[in-house]
């Protein structure tokens, strides 16, 4: 009988992987993923471009004349940053002049800025969020220096000594890492990927069963194959298609990223800029540093294990739904009810991005019908290995039990003709009284 299961599985796999849509999707998705990472890396790299900023202080609020040059009253307000230089003036030059002088941006304000707390930032190319934050911080501090000297009896060093700027660096005591929000987003992205994989391939399995039933091909197959072997063959065949996609995407993505890294380090994408190592560059940025800290092998292994368990769990139900239906309209009525647990865990996951340690997320990561989606968020943020192993074991045990129950419906439903079976009849089939 194992030879029958293998033959059926191979037939399912070969039929689907030879389709043009499968091959096209196999190539496009890794390209889109690599494109996203490449775009992020280039954005990070672009942030290291040198910026020359001209500050136009019309009314001399923060500048003073020193040997024929305008300099800030408070030099300490303008921190020394790599890639950012300031120049000061009192008159706004025409655009062509400051562009010809090599300035990347111009900040302009007058005495009204004290009241409305607003100035103007002029640029030809968008300066980026990081540069805008630097400008707001430095110029805001310089204007704060002005107000302190004008409205209080404190001197600037005394005032600064009273201020206390607190920076909280988040660290998990279990993992010793931070960036929990970014980790949650990445875990949620893996959850979406797994949700789509289970839904798409589960629906594919259901339609495959339904097609063979309505075309009466199944009657020929059942003459030489047991119903349970036919169901296992189809389950394994469609799972092999999914694993082919998974492995191909992983290999293509790793190859593409290795190629991009070598080209980036060689300066191919950063012509005219100082050479930089991609890993070092990512480690210097708060956002991309988290990507280096994530346990990617564990994420991939967990995704693989939860996909197999989740697919077997839901795949058996989809196969039973296809066998119990007479047409696609009837079969589609089962799709949403079967996906409701995954949909619920998907929605709960979107709330868990801001607070991944919500009790609801922990509960859902233990319930077999929701753990394939919910647990991946916790894996990204850090979960104890005992919880991970326990959740996986419970999922696989439940999948084994559900495939046993679904097989009973599948066995009777394949040869059932006529009216749509009622829930009472389905319950009888589950008891083996079909």
Q: What element of type H or E holds 122?
A: strand 120-123
**DSSP E strand boundaries for 10-119:** 51-57, 63-66, 69-72, 84-89, 105-109
396 and 425 belong to one structural domain: yes
Span 282-315, pLDDT tens digits: 666 666 677 777 788 888 889 889 988 988 888 8
Q: Is residue 170 part of a domain?
A: no
Task: Determine the pLDDT at residue 51.
Answer: 85
Q: How long is the chain? A: 434
DSSP code of 268?
A: S
The answer, yes or no, to whether residue 191 has pLDDT greater than 90, is: no
Q: Is residue 221 part of a domain?
A: yes
Query: Cβ-count burial of 110 within 10 angstroms (0-12 exposed, 13-18 middle, 19+ buried)?
Result: middle
Q: What element of type H or E holds 22?
A: helix 20-46
- CA separation (Å) from 325 to 200, 233, 335? 19, 20, 12
Confidence of residue 54 (pLDDT cuts 50, 70, 90): very high
Q: Is residue 418 part of a domain?
A: yes
- CA separation (Å) from 118 to 53, 95, 108, 114, 123? 17, 21, 10, 8, 16
157 and 109 belong to one structural domain: yes
Are 370 and 345 contacting, i.e. CB atoms less than 8 angstroms apart? Answer: yes
Output the six-digit token pair for 203: 């629906």
Q: What element of type H or E holds 123?
A: strand 120-123
Span 216-236, pLDDT tens digits: 777 777 777 787 788 888 888
Tell me what the mean pLDDT of segment 119-139 comes to: 84
196 three-class SS: helix
Q: Is residue 175 part of a domain?
A: no
Are 208 and 328 contacting, i.e. CB atoms less than 8 angstroms apart? Answer: no
Cα–Cα distance measured from residue 293 to residue 287, given in angstroms and rounded to the nearest whole number: 11
Are 267 and 275 contacting, i.e. CB atoms less than 8 angstroms apart? Answer: yes
- CATH code of the domain covering residue 104: 3.40.190.10
147 and 192 belong to one structural domain: no
69 three-class SS: strand
Q: Is residue 171 part of a domain?
A: no
The β-bridge partners of 51 are 84
Nearest C-alpha neighbor of 382 from the set 361, 368, 351, 360: 361
Domain of residue 105: give its range.
50-162
Q: Is residue 20 part of a domain?
A: yes
Tell me what the mean pLDDT of segment 91-115 comes to: 88
235 and 328 belong to one structural domain: yes
211 and 302 belong to one structural domain: yes
Confidence of residue 106 (pLDDT cuts 50, 70, 90): very high
Task: Determine the pLDDT at residue 263.
Answer: 73
Of 162, 193, 210, the residue that ends a domain is 162
Q: Compute the half-sphere exposure of residue 411: CA atoms within 13 Å on the CB side of its CA.
A: 19
Span 345-399, pLDDT tens digits: 878 777 766 666 677 878 888 988 888 888 888 888 778 889 899 999 999 999 8
Of 128, 162, 196, the residue that ends a domain is 162
189 and 268 belong to one structural domain: yes
123 and 155 belong to one structural domain: yes
Task: Determine the pLDDT at residue 268.
Answer: 62
Task: Determine the pLDDT at residue 39.
Answer: 66
Output the six-digit token pair for 393: 């074991």
Nearest C-alpha neighbor of 39 from the set 269, 296, 275, 273: 269
242 and 361 belong to one structural domain: yes
Task: Determine the pLDDT at residue 177.
Answer: 58
127 and 91 belong to one structural domain: yes
16 and 78 belong to one structural domain: no
Nearest C-alpha neighbor of 42 from the set 34, 32, 53: 34
Q: Is residue 368 part of a domain?
A: yes
264 and 130 belong to one structural domain: no
Q: Report the DSSP pairing between strands 84-89 and 69-72.
A: unpaired
150 and 231 belong to one structural domain: no
Task: Determine the pLDDT at residue 150.
Answer: 80
417 three-class SS: coil
Q: Is residue 167 part of a domain?
A: no
Of 131, 162, 193, the residue that ends a domain is 162
Span 275-290, pLDDT tens digits: 566 667 666 666 667 7
Confidence of residue 168 (pLDDT cuts 50, 70, 90): low
The domain total for the chain is 2
């Amino acid at each position: 009988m194992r030879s029958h299961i293998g033959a059926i599985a191979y037939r399912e796999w070969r039929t689907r992987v030879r389709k043009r849509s499968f091959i096209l999707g196999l190539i496009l998705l890794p390209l889109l993923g690599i494109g996203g990472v490449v775009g992020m890396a280039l954005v990070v790299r672009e942030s290291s471009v040198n910026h020359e900023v001209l500050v136009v202080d019309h009314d001399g609020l923060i500048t003073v004349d020193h040997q024929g040059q305008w300099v800030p009253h408070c030099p300490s307000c303008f921190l020394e940053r790599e890639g950012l230089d300031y120049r000061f003036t009192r008159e706004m030059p025409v655009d062509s002049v400051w562009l010809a002088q090599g300035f990347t941006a111009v900040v302009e304000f007058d005495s009204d800025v004290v009241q409305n707390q607003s100035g103007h930032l002029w640029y030809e190319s968008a300066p980026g969020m990081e540069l805008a934050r630097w400008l707001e911080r430095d110029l805001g501090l310089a204007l704060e220096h002005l107000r302190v000297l004008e409205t209080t009896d404190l001197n600037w060093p005394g005032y600064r000594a009273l201020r206390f700027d607190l920076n909280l660096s988040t660290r998990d005591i279990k993992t010793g890492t931070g960036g929990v929000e970014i980790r949650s987003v990445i875990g949620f992205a893996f959850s979406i990927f797994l949700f789509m994989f289970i839904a798409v391939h589960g629906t594919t399995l259901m339609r495959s069963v339904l097609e063979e039933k309505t075309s009466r091909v199944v009657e020929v197959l059942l003459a030489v194959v047991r119903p349970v072997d036919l169901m296992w063959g189809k389950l394994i065949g469609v799972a092999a298609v999914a694993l082919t996609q998974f492995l191909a995407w992983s290999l293509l993505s790793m190859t593409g990223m290795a190629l991009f890294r070598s080209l980036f380090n060689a300066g191919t994408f950063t012509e005219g800029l100082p050479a930089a190592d991609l890993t070092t560059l990512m480690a210097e940025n708060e956002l991309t540093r988290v990507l280096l800290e994530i346990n990617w092998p564990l994420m991939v292994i967990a995704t693989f294990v939860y996909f197999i368990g989740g697919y077997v769990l839901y795949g058996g139900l989809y196969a039973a739904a296809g066998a119990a239906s007479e047409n696609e309209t009837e079969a589609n009525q089962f799709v949403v009810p079967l996906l409701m647990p995954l949909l619920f865990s998907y929605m709960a996951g979107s709330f868990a991005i801001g607070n991944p340690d919500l009790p609801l997320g922990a509960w859902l990561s233990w319930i077999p019908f929701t753990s394939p989606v919910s647990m991946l968020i916790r894996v990204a943020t850090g979960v104890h290995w005992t919880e991970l192993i326990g959740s996986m074991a419970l999922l696989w045990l439940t999948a084994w039990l559900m495939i046993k129950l679904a097989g009973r419906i599948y066995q009777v439903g394949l040869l059932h003709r006529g009216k749509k079976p009622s829930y009472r009849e389905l319950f009888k089939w589950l008891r083996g009284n079909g």
